[in-house]
A and B are shown apart, each in its own frame.
Chain A
Amino acid sequence: MSAKTTWEVNAAGRKVPAEVNGAAQVPYRGVRAHEPSGRKAAPPVRSNRDYPADGDKRVPNLAAALKRCGLRDGMVISTHHHLRNGDRVALDALQTAATLGAKDLVWFPSASFPCHAPVIDLMESGAVHHIEGSMNGPLGDYCSTGKMRGLGVLRSHGGRWQAIQDGEVHVDIAVIAAPSADSFGNADGSHGPSACGSLGFALADSLYADRVIVVTDNLVPFPCLPWQIQGNNVDCVVEVDSIGDPEKIVSGTTRITRSPDRLRIAEHVARFVRDAGILREGFSFQAGAGGIALAFVDFLAPMMREAGVTASFVRGGSTRYLVKMLQEGLTRCILDGQTFDLDGIRSIASDPRHVPTSPFTSYNYHGKGNFASMIDVVVLGATEVDVNFNANVNTHSDGRLLHGIGGWQNCLFSGCTVLAVPSYRDRIPVIVDEVTTLTGPGELVDVVATERGLAINPRRKDLLEAVRGSDLPIRPIEEIKAEVEALCGGPPARPRLTEVPVAVIKWVDGTVIDTVWRVKG
C-alpha cells in the first residue's frame, strides 16, 4: 500500500481504500445502489488453425503446458477449490511456475485451503506476489500480519464471477483440476477416482481466461460424458497420477452435530420455517454442510412429510441428507453448487434431478437474475452479528482472517436469511455492538437464531407477524446480547487493530464494503 493511498467512507460507514493493487475501486454504495456500465470482458479470438485437427491437446506435463500458455512474470493464475483440502493441482501449478522462473504471479483461487499453506514459501521467494481469494489458517495469518505484498481481495462466489465477467480480474492462465477429462479438454467432476461432483467454480475461468489448462488423473476416450467444462475453451490437457487425495476431497459421510445447543438452534430454525409459513408446497431452501445446517435439514424433513409438501428445488452444497430428500420425493431436484460427500457424488453422477450449477446461474449479481435470490429461505453461519443484524464471516473477533465469503453474501438475497449461530463461542459473545469486519449489511439479514432464542430483524414486520402466537422463543436481539454478556462477564474488549490494511471485502457488485486491518503482534 503506497503512502499516498486515498480513503473513502462508504455507504456502510466503513473506511475503504480508493485503490487496490493498482486498480481504482468503487466504494460500497448500498445494497442495490451501484449501477454497472460497459460490456463484459472476453478472451482473445482463437482459431482452429492453431489447435490439433484430431483434437488431441495433450502435453507431457504442467511445465510444458504453462510454457505453451506463455507463462510470464506478473500473470494471474487461477484454480478452483472443488477438491477442497485434498487438492494437489493448485500448489503443483504454482510451484511449477516458480521452477520455470516466473515472478510476481497473482494467485486467483476460488478458495484456498490449509493444504495450500506452502504458497507462503512462494510468496516469500517472490514467485507469488499476492493472493486474491479466501484465506484462512496459515495463509490467513500470513495476510493478517501484513506479510503479503499486495492487498488480499475477498469476494463471494458470485462476486468472483462478476469480477471476471466485468473485467475487474483478468485471468491469464486457468488451471482446472478435472476428475475426468478427454484429450480435447472436455471435463467432468462427477466421475473418476478423485470425483468431486460439480465443477461449477471453474466455469468462469474456462470461459474468460486467455489460456486454459485441464489437469486430470482420469483421462477418458473422447467424448467425456457428461462435460461440465467444454473442450472448445481448453488450450491443453495434462495427465497426472493424482489430482488429489479422495479422502480429503469429500467426506465419506457428513455428520449431523451432536452438540445439544447446536441441535436446539437447528430445531428452532426448522420450526421457524414451518411456523412462519415458509414451509409450503413448492417452497425452496438452501442449507450447506455445516453441522447446524445439516441438522436443520434433518429436522425439516419430517415437518415436510407431516405437512405433505414437496420443495420445488433445494440448493446444495449437497450431502446425503439432501440426497435422501430427493430420493424420498421431498424435493423435485437439487441444484448443486458443490458436492460434499460420497452420497452426493453418487447422486449427481446418476440422478438427472441432481444438477450441477455454477456461480453464474446461482450467485452472479451482474446477470439477469440468479437462483440464490429465488430461494425462499437460507440457513447460514457467521462469526459475529451486531445489534443491527450486520454480520461478519471473514475475520475472528480479533481481526484475523478466518473464512472466505463463499456464497454467503449471494445467499443474503433469499426471501428469508437465517443466521444460525451459537450465542457465544469459548466465552466470546457472537452478538456484538459493532462487527469487526462487515461482510453483509443487516438489512438483508432477517433472523439470528441462537440456542437462547431467535431474533427477528425489526424490518421484517411480516415475519414477526407470521410467527405471532408460535411457542418459539422470539426475543429482541439486544436482550439475547445482554443475557450472554452477563454470562461471559461483560462485553468483550475491542480488538486492537492497526491502521494498515491487509485486505478488502468486496460486495456482490464489485464495490468495496470493508477493509481488513493488520492485527497487532
Chain B
Amino acid sequence: MTGTQPATAGPRGDSVRSDLHVAFTPGDEALVIELHSRVAPYYGEAIDTQVRNVLATLGVGTGRVAIHDGGALPFVIAARLETAVRRAGLGGESRALPEAHPRPAPSTRDRLRRSRLYLPGSQPKIMVSAGLHGPDAVILDLEDSVHPAEKDAARTLVRNALQTLDFGAAERMVRINQLPLGLEDLDEIVPVAPDLILIPKVEDPSQVRAVDERITAIQERLGETRALWLMPILESALGFEHAFAVAQASPRVAALTLGLEDYTADLGVRKTPEGSESLYARTRTVNAAKAAGVQAIDSVYGDVDDTEGLLAWGRRSRDLGFEGMGCVHPRQIPVVHEAYAPGKEELTRAARIVAAFEAAKAEGRGVVSLGSKMIDPPVVERAVKLMGRARAMGLSVEEA
C-alpha cells in the first residue's frame, strides 16, 4: 500500500476516561481488531461492530486496529478511529458520521446570547451534558484549547458532537482556528449545521468575508439554506481600530466580541481583574457593534471560584452595553445570567414607560409622559427592547 503509514489518535494511559486511543496500521492482511476496554463486559461486542462499520464506511477492509478504550461514547470512538485512518493516509472523501440527533430550529440574529459555555474541542466528556447546564450557547473550540498537533482530531470530534449530541436550547457555536486553517475547519463543520462561527483574531474585514464566502460555497454545494451567523473576535490593537468595518463585513455577522489575553499582550500591559487597561477596547467594541446593528458580546472571567468577581464584572459589562459573555465553567452560567438581567427597579420603570406609551397611543396623544416628566421616543424604544429581552430571559415582566 503506497502513501500510507501507521498512525494513532486519542489520548493514551490508564487514567483516560470517556475517551480512547486508536493505533491503526494499514496492511493487506484481513482486518484485525485488538480491543482493550474498561467497558468490555458490557460494550465489547458493540465496539467491535462499530469499529468494523466505521472502517467499512471509510473504505478500510484490511490492516490492524489496536484500541485502548476508557469508556468512550460511540461518537468519540467514531471520531478517533476516523482521525487515525486519515492520519494513516486512508479514508478519502468518506465521513463516518454518528447517528444524527434531530437538528434544532435555526437560530436568529438577535437571539439571547448572555452566556456561551466554552467546550475544548479535544475533551469529549464535558460536551455530552453541556446543554443541561442551560447556557444560551455552547461553543465548541477548535482554537486555543486544542494543541496544534491535534487540530484534525478536534475537528472530527467536534463535527461528530454537533451531529449527534443534544445541546438542548443552547445555540451551537464553533470557534474555528485563525485563517487560513480556519477555512479547512469550515469544510468539516459547516455540513453538520452549527448555528454560529466565531472567527478568532480578526484584524480586517476581508477575513470575515473570506469566511462568509467559504460558508456560502459549502452551503450552496449542499443545498443548505439554514442560517449560519458569524461572531468575529477582536484581539489586537489593529483589530479594534477596524471594529466597525469588521462588524459590517458580512450580513452573517450577528455579534462582535473580543479577546483580552492577546490584546493586553499586544499592548504590553498587564491584564487586571478590574480591567481598566481594556476599557477603551471594550467600549470601542460596543460602539462599533451598535453602529453596525449587531450585538456586543464580552470576553470571559477566568477565575471560576470567584463568583463575586464574576458578578461584578458581568454587571459592569452590561452597564457598558454588552449583552453577554463567555463562561469557562458551567457554574458561571447562572451568575452571568443574573449579571445581565435587568434590575427590578429598571424593569418596573420600563413597564411604566411602555404602559404610558400605550395609553398615549390609545388616546391619540403624540407626547408620552410619566408623572410630570415627558418621555422622549428613544427612551420608549429602549424600554420596549428591555421588556422584550426580559421576557426572553424568562423574567416575570408582568409583575414588574
B129 interface residue (CB < 8 Å to A): yes
Residues of B within 8 A of A496 (CB): 41
Is A428 a contact partner of B71 (Cβ separation < 8 A)? yes
User: Smallest Cβ distance from A490 to chain B, in angstroms?
Assistant: 6
Please give, as numbers and ranges, the residues of chain B lying within 8 Å of A452 by CB-CB distance.
Answer: 129, 132
B111 interfacial by beta-carbon distance below 8 Å = no
Of A427, A428, A451, A488, which one neighbours B129 at CB under 8 angstroms? A451
Q: How far is the CB of B48 from chain A (nearest CB, A)?
A: 12
Q: Using an 8 Å CB-CB cutoff, how does the interface string of A77-97 with B read, 1 for contact, 0 for none?
A: 000000000000000000000
Chain A residues near B46 (CB-CB < 8 A) = 489-490, 493
A495-B266 Cα distance, complex, nearest whole Å:
58
Distance between Cα atoms of A427 and B128 in the complex (Å): 11
Chain A nearest Cβ from B13, distance in angstroms? 14
Residues of A with C-beta under 8 A to B72:
427
Q: Are B330 and A492 in contact (CB under 8 A)?
A: no
CA distance A48 to B171 in the complex (A): 79
Q: Does B133 have its Cβ within 8 Å of any Cβ on chain A?
A: yes
Kindly identify, within residues 69 to 120 of chain B, every residue whose CB is under 8 Å from any CB belonging to chain A: 70-74
A261 at the interface (CB under 8 A from B): yes
A370–B46 alpha-carbon span in the complex (Å): 48
B39 touches A427 (CB 8 A): yes
Q: Is A397 an interface residue (CB 8 A)?
A: yes
Name the contact of A427 in the complex, choosing from B50, B71, B331 (C-beta under 8 A).
Answer: B71
Is A52 located at the chain interface by the 8 A CB criterion?
no
A397 CA to B41 CA in the complex, in Å?
9
* A426 interface contact, C-beta 8 A: yes
Residues of chain A with a CB closer than 8 A to B71's CB: 425-428
Do B329 and A427 touch across chains, with their CB atoms under 8 A apart? no
Considering the chains assembled together, what is the distance between the CA atoms of A502 and B46 in angstroms?
Answer: 30
In the bound assembly, the distance between CA atoms of A489 and B126 in angstroms comes to: 18
Contact of B43 among A261, A487, A492 (CB under 8 A): A492
Which of A264, A489, A490, A495 sits near B330, CB closer than 8 Å?
A: A264
Chain B CB within 10 A, most for which of A260, A264, A428, A490: A260
Type the 1/0 row for B122-142, where 1 means its CB is closer than 8 Å to any CB of A: 000010110011000000000
Cα distance, A495 to B132, chains bound together (Å): 31
Q: Are A492 and B73 closer than 8 Å at their CB atoms?
A: no
Chain A contact residue count (CB 8 A cutoff):
20
Give the Cβ gap from B307 to chain A, nearest Cβ, in Å: 12
| Least Cβ–Cβ distance between B230 and chain A, in angstroms | 28
Chain A proximity mask over B22-53: 1 for CB below 8 Å, otherwise 0: 00000000000000001101111110001000
Residues of A within 8 A of B50 (CB): 489
**A496 vs B50: C-alpha distance when bound (angstroms):** 22
Residues of chain A lying within 8 A (CB to CB) of residue B41? 397-398, 492-493, 495-496
B330 — which chain A residues lie within 8 A by C-beta? 260, 263-264
Q: Write the chain A residue with the least CB distance to B42.
A: A492
A427-B73, A487-B128, A489-B73 given; A260·B331 CB < 8 A: yes
How long is the Cα–Cα vector from A452 to B72 in the complex, in angstroms?
A: 19
Q: Would A427 and B132 count as touching, CB distance under 8 A? A: no
Cβ contact of B42, chosen from A261, A451, A487, A493, cutoff 8 A: A493
CB-based contact A264/B18 at 8 Å: no
Q: Is B17 in the interface zone, CB < 8 Å from A?
A: yes
How distant is A472 from chain B, measured CB to nearest CB, in Å? 13
CA distance A69 to B329 in the complex (A): 59
B266 to chain A, nearest CB (A): 32
Residues of A contacting B126 with CB < 8 Å? 260
Chain B residues whose CB sits within 8 angstroms of the CB of A451 once the complex forms: 129, 132
Query: What B residues does A493 contact at CB under 8 A?
Result: 41-46
Q: Is the CB of B73 within 8 A of A488?
A: yes
B133 contacts A426, CB within 8 Å? Answer: no
Per-position 1/0 for B273-294, Cβ under 8 A of A: 0000000000000000000000
- Among A376-435, those with CB < 8 Å from B are 397-398, 425-428
Report Cα–Cα, A16/B53, bound state, in Å.
43
How near does chain B come to A482, taking the closest CB pair, in angstroms? 13
Instruction: Assess the B129–A261 pair: CB atoms within 8 A.
Output: yes
- Listed by A's residue number, 13 A-B pairs whose Cβ atoms lie within 8 Å are A398-B41, A426-B18, A426-B70, A427-B73, A428-B39, A428-B71, A451-B132, A488-B73, A488-B74, A489-B43, A492-B43, A493-B43, A493-B46
A interface with B by C-beta (< 8 Å): 260-261, 263-264, 397-398, 425-428, 451-452, 487-490, 492-493, 495-496
The 8 closest A-B pairs by CB, nearest first: A426-B71, A492-B42, A260-B330, A427-B71, A489-B74, A398-B41, A427-B39, A493-B42
Known contacts A426-B71, A451-B132, A493-B42, then 13 further A-B pairs from the complex at CB < 8 Å, ordered by chain A residue: A260-B329, A261-B129, A263-B330, A264-B132, A397-B41, A427-B42, A427-B71, A428-B71, A451-B129, A489-B46, A492-B41, A493-B41, A495-B42
Give B residues with C-beta under 8 Å from A: 17-18, 38-39, 41-46, 50, 70-74, 126, 128-129, 132-133, 329-331
